[in-house]
Amino acid sequence: MSFVDTLRQWDEAVALVNRGDLATALTVFLDIQDKNSKISFNIGCLHLINNDLAAAEKAFDSSIRKDEHLAIAFFQRGITFYKNGRFEESFADFQLAFKKLRGNQLIDYKPLGLRYKLYACEVLHNMALTHAHMGQWEKAQENLVSALNLRTEAKLSHIDKALESILKQKLFQLVEVPKNVLFRPNQNYVAELEKKDYLGKAKVVSSIVPEDEFSGFAPLQPQVEDAPVAPKAPEVLRALEGEPHTVLFEFVPETSDELAVVPGNIVFVLQRGTDNWASVIFNERRGLVPYNYLERLEINLSSKIDLNISDDQIPASPRRAAPSRPKREPASKAPENQDHPDSEVVVSRKDECIVKVHFTFTFTICVARGASYATLAEKIASKLKLPVTSITLSYSLMRTKKTINQDTKMEDVWSQVNNGHLTLWCTLQEDMNFQQQGHQLLLAVHSFESSNPEDLTFYKGDLIIQLGKVNDDWFEGQCKGKIGIFPSAFVTEAPVKSTQEE
């Protein structure tokens, strides 16, 4: 089943739920062959409404297998276990849902198509309820006290009532996801399912030609005697931008700057990058599509019409430059001189030396020849916005890298100057704490500002400890005491101290 078919059935099933026909909606969902985690979640919710707990548990299992970071799926499976009287398993799922919040007070699933906010305090509320069922009143009270500290809105007053019930050793009501709250497909994709006729059908209102009942898109017969000899500039040449291409394969975007297309679409390529991504326009929207998914479409108007048109008759297209995209290139391909990308560094004094430093990117600084190790290291560390103690410098001697430290004779280093230039290498010191825990140290090559509560904000040059891997495109990490997920294309592996040959 293609993505388009899956999308169409998904949208149909959600519409049936809105009309209250849950049985038919469930049948449509079950008929979908390629069920993603969201569709499996929807199936579990419908089974839960029907009180079919075994089928609901199986559906939520499938949703979690396909997306182990979907906290709301753990939460719903915990509710399923609770209603089945399996309180220990219910507590374990609520605990996993709380862990998947990654320290955030809530996750708003609206950007993903689910109109629901999962609050950390409500997850703790349900954890306390399972403790109460197992007779663990003190643990239940601890969870509710923690829930009060994480409460963000006044409407969550049921936590206060639950704490009062716990102090009296009485049970309280479970927090559940409202009925008919399901993941909906992306409405931008759904809008592309229906073919629209924006031009309509032509109709002759008045004509000098007897019984002229023409309807179509070819020009009518001339209505005046003094018709122009040369045709006007075709509107198709005025309106279209770029080169027309036919889409050969379906492309599902994974980032906000990519564009969804299906086979048969006609797109117009504005710019083709060296990384084989093309910036295209389709239905007045612009985005990136892999160029090998496209095939050039030849439109030859000159063979049909003798266009005797000068260039000044066709106005220039008033469009902006194509959007840029963070390049997925190795750090070694970064520009060698970020401070002066268009010109070389000019040495103003004879006693100064240009020092080229190879890091995850290459940059240059200007240092007085013969400077001490402390001065050199401090200037490089300041450039990288890192503490001096976190970097290790080295230079090449006979194809072997020699480490530079406080005990190094700087005369040996400065003797490597050639034509006023010196080349050094800079690496980061090994952090034994996270290395022993099996974590990888990453360096941000682009800034990333979070748009969702679960995202991790960082800036170019920040160091990030990788805690896990969501998929090939998203990692989970820690930066400046905060934990979240971020695009893998925005970081690169940070070099550690090494004495290997170049």
What would the pLDDT profile of 10-54 be if each residue is shown by its tens digit? 989 999 998 889 999 999 999 998 889 999 999 999 999 999 999
**Structure confidence at residue 299 as a pLDDT band (50, 70, 90):** low
pLDDT higher than 50, residue 386? yes
pLDDT higher than 90, residue 182? yes
Minimal CA–CA distance to 193: which of 12, 372, 52? 12
Q: Which pLDDT does position 198 carry in this prediction? A: 54
Q: What is the mean pLDDT of residues 147-167?
A: 84
Three-state SS annotation for 342-373: CCCCCCCCCCEEEEEEECCCEEEEEEECCCCH
**Structure confidence at residue 206 as a pLDDT band (50, 70, 90):** low
Q: Which pLDDT does position 304 carry in this prediction? A: 41
pTM equals 0.43
**Structure confidence at residue 202 as a pLDDT band (50, 70, 90):** low
Q: Which pLDDT does position 467 carry in this prediction? A: 81
Q: What is the mean pLDDT of residues 473-486?
A: 83
Q: Which pLDDT does position 328 carry in this prediction? A: 43
Domains of the chain: 3-167 (1.25.40.10), 233-301 (2.30.30.40), 332-428 (3.10.20.90), 432-493 (2.30.30.40)
Q: Are 97 and 177 in contact (CB under 8 A)?
A: no
Q: Which pLDDT does position 340 carry in this prediction? A: 40
pLDDT higher than 90, residue 90? yes
Q: Which pLDDT does position 39 carry in this prediction? A: 93
104-113, 187-196, 436-445: lowest mean pLDDT where?
187-196
Query: What's the one-letter identity of residue 331?
Result: A
Task: Give the C-alpha separation, 263 to 423, whole Å.
Answer: 52
Q: 343-358, pLDDT tens digit by residue?
A: 334 434 557 888 888 8
Task: Give the C-alpha separation, 58 to 77, whole Å.
Answer: 9
